[in-house]
Structure 1
Amino acid sequence: MNIVVTGGTGFVGRQLTDHLVKQGHHVYILTRSPEKHSDTESITYVGWLHESYNPVESLPYIHAIVNLAGESLNSGRWTDEKKQAILDSRVQATEGVIDLIDKMQDKPNVLVNASAVGFYGRSKTKTFTEETTKAGRDFLANVVEEWEERAEAAKEYDVRTVFVRFGIILGEEGALPKMIIPYKMMIGGNLGSGEQWMSWIHVDDVVGLIDFSIHHEDVNGPLNGTAPNPKRNKDFGRILSTVLNRPHWIPAPSFALKLALGEMSTLLLDGQSVIPKKAIEHGYNFRYPELRPALASILK
């Protein structure tokens, strides 16, 4: 298959590209700076999102598009400018994908669009599945709702569309390296009350669910990209401390995190319990359904 990937040079994008190439597919990575990369036998870098580039002319027939592009949520305080960049990067990239589909004479079979569990808002008591159709009312929920709304335009071209709502992605990059710093300094503990839910997923299952979405024509719409067993922060931390053989004992007070991080502290202090009901019902076999083996595979 010929598969287009946006955000292909990022943490998840590189893992996905390696997987797809090993499966025998050709990956076309859309990037604003194709000159910074060298093509290989199975990977082609194609310029886009600039008036000097016309990606349609550089692409053969494309079977699937995977859109992973977007500004990182945890790369700095959420100033007004940062929040606008978080929204704009997702909307503009997705609109760019829809524009690409519009210009293709032969449309792809499927668009797999990254999304986030932030859609559901924050709760310490509720459990969410794909059957939850009402978005939350905070900043992240608003971003996700607008993000998915843009991607949904692919359906107008009879392109099957899947929104994979990812939780906290665990891997050698991303959130986990920052999580382990306090434990390595022997000061790990609960964040705030420790009661907030952490809906997590191993990066191998991120790649697996994207691949699953590409190949299973009966998968449509929202698909929760989380492991089947979310953990409260206090339990996540205890398991992490055990894997690292470090103590879990000094809590980080909510007020201190809010003072240090501002609104971005919601990523640490708030959460939601999200179950991948649709993936389970459609037969996806999680490689890492439990947290301890997932962490051990990365940290040991």
Structure 2
Amino acid sequence: MNLLITGGTGFIGSQLIENLKAEGHSITVLSRSESKEKDGVRYVQWLHNNAKPEEELTPPDAVVNLAGVSINEGNWSEEHQKKIYESRMEATDELLRILEVLNGKPDVFVNASAIGIYPTSETHVYTENSPEIAHDFLGETVHEWEKKASKMKEFGTRVVYTRFGTVFGKGGGALPLIALPYKLFAGGPIGSGQQWISWVHVEDVARAISFVISTPSLEGPVNVTAPAPVRMSDLGKAIGSVTHRPHWLPVPGIAMKLALGKKSKLVLEGQHVLPEKLIESEFTFKYPAIRPALANILE
């Protein structure tokens, strides 16, 4: 299969490309760097002055749009929030423009998304059928991003919004921030400890994207979270157990807010989200439970 990917050099994109290469697919990545071929992957320049990627591309069978500034970076100042929002909108606009001028249209368009579209709650359980939308920065950004990606339906393309949970993996994601106090022997409950963490291993994220591409029945929102979310207190205990560090020193919410600003929302508030569509489609998670996932990453 001929696949076109944006955001292919990021945390999730790098894992996805390794998986797709192992499956034998032909991969083209839209990149800000000069066009080149490396390790069996073709890189085509875009979002750069005078770049005309449409002249170098053949119509793809599938597109995966992961482009955008990471929400795990920066301090979520107003300026940084603007970058998070605009990087997604501008990249998706340009991708839509490129696909519109190509002769053939993709069979499927997979757009990255996030469970941040759901309101935070300690009691509610969300699935893809939940109609609630969070009216905050993350919720509105995700909602607008999905709305923009939905324009691909006009080409007769199947559109999927992969709503990623809190992604754990080596060398990126949210886990380094959460695990750091444990490495310093100062780990403990963060905030109330009752907030839900709907996590997922980065390998399962990449596997889920491949699964979505090859499963024609999947469209619209697809939650990409492990089937067993955990509360923050239980996550902390698991991290302490795996790293052989104590879980004893509470971290007050106010301390996290002072240290991280608005980004503290990522660890102080959460949602209980289930991957109902993946489960019903018989997707098999490699890491369905938190302890084996943490052991793979932290040991």
Report the TM-score when normalising by structure 2: 0.97
1:202 aligns with 2:201: yes
The aligned counterpart of 1:28 is 28
AA aligned opposite 1:283: E
The aligned counterpart of 2:237 is 238
The aligned counterpart of 2:295 is 296
The aligned counterpart of 2:143 is 145
AA aligned opposite 1:286: F
Alignment identity in percent? 46
Q: Structure 2 stretches of 5 or more lacking a match?
A: none
Work out whether residues 64 and 111 of structure 2, in 8 Å CA contact, stay in contact via their aligned partners in 1: yes
The aligned counterpart of 2:253 is 254
1:9 aligns with 2:9: yes
Work out whether residues 226 and 289 of structure 2, in 8 Å CA contact, stay in contact via their aligned partners in 1: yes
**Structure 2 residue aligned with 1:135, among 117, 133, 158?**
133
SS in 1 for 2:173: coil
The aligned counterpart of 2:106 is 108
SS in 1 for 2:19: helix
SS in 1 for 2:239: helix
CA distance in 2, matches of 1:134, 1:177: 30
AA aligned opposite 1:245: H
CA distance in 1, matches of 2:108, 2:40: 20
Residue 41 to residue 258, structure 1, CA distance change in 2 (3 Å) = closer
1:86 aligns with 2:84: yes
The aligned counterpart of 1:225 is 224
CA distance in 2, matches of 1:281, 1:174: 27
AA aligned opposite 1:33: S
Q: How does 1:32-181 map to 2 (within 5 A)?
A: 32-34=32-34, 38-40=36-38, 42-172=40-170, 173-181=172-180
Work out whether residues 5 and 65 of structure 1, in 8 Å CA contact, stay in contact via their aligned partners in 2: yes
Residue 174 to residue 41, structure 1, CA distance change in 2 (3 Å) = closer
AA aligned opposite 2:221: P
AA aligned opposite 1:129: T
SS in 2 for 1:112: strand
Work out whether residues 126 and 272 of structure 2, in 8 Å CA contact, stay in contact via their aligned partners in 1: yes
1:215 aligns with 2:176: no
Using the TM superposition, give the Cα deviation of residue 51 of structure 1 relative to its aligned residue in structure 2, in angstroms: 4.4
Using the TM superposition, give the Cα deviation of residue 42 of structure 1 relative to its aligned residue in structure 2, in angstroms: 2.5
Q: Once the two structures are superposed, what CA deviation does each residue of 1:186-229 show, in whole Å capped at 9, x if it has no partner?
A: 10011111010000000110001100011011100000010000
The aligned counterpart of 2:18 is 18
Using the TM superposition, give the Cα deviation of residue 23 of structure 1 relative to its aligned residue in structure 2, in angstroms: 0.8
Residue 260 to residue 299, structure 1, CA distance change in 2 (3 Å) = closer
Work out whether residues 67 and 113 of structure 1, in 8 Å CA contact, stay in contact via their aligned partners in 2: yes
Residue 33 to residue 58, structure 1, CA distance change in 2 (3 Å) = same
CA distance in 2, matches of 1:241, 1:286: 24
Work out whether residues 121 and 140 of structure 1, in 8 Å CA contact, stay in contact via their aligned partners in 2: no
Q: Once the two structures are superposed, what CA deviation does each residue of 1:139-191 show, in whole Å capped at 9, x if it has no partner?
A: 11011000100100000111100000001111002221222211011100111
Residue 41 to residue 181, structure 1, CA distance change in 2 (3 Å) = closer
SS in 2 for 1:61: coil
SS in 1 for 2:221: strand
SS in 1 for 2:161: strand
Using the TM superposition, give the Cα deviation of residue 259 of structure 1 relative to its aligned residue in structure 2, in angstroms: 1.7
CA distance in 1, matches of 2:212, 2:298: 28
AA aligned opposite 1:256: A
Using the TM superposition, give the Cα deviation of residue 41 of structure 1 relative to its aligned residue in structure 2, in angstroms: 6.0
The aligned counterpart of 2:267 is 268
CA distance in 1, matches of 2:113, 2:123: 23
CA distance in 2, matches of 1:225, 1:72: 17
Work out whether residues 69 and 90 of structure 1, in 8 Å CA contact, stay in contact via their aligned partners in 2: yes
- Following TM superposition, the consecutive aligned residue runs of length 4 or more in structure 1 with deviations greater than 2 angstroms are none
Report the TM-score when normalising by structure 1: 0.97
CA distance in 2, matches of 1:39, 1:240: 40
AA aligned opposite 1:147: W
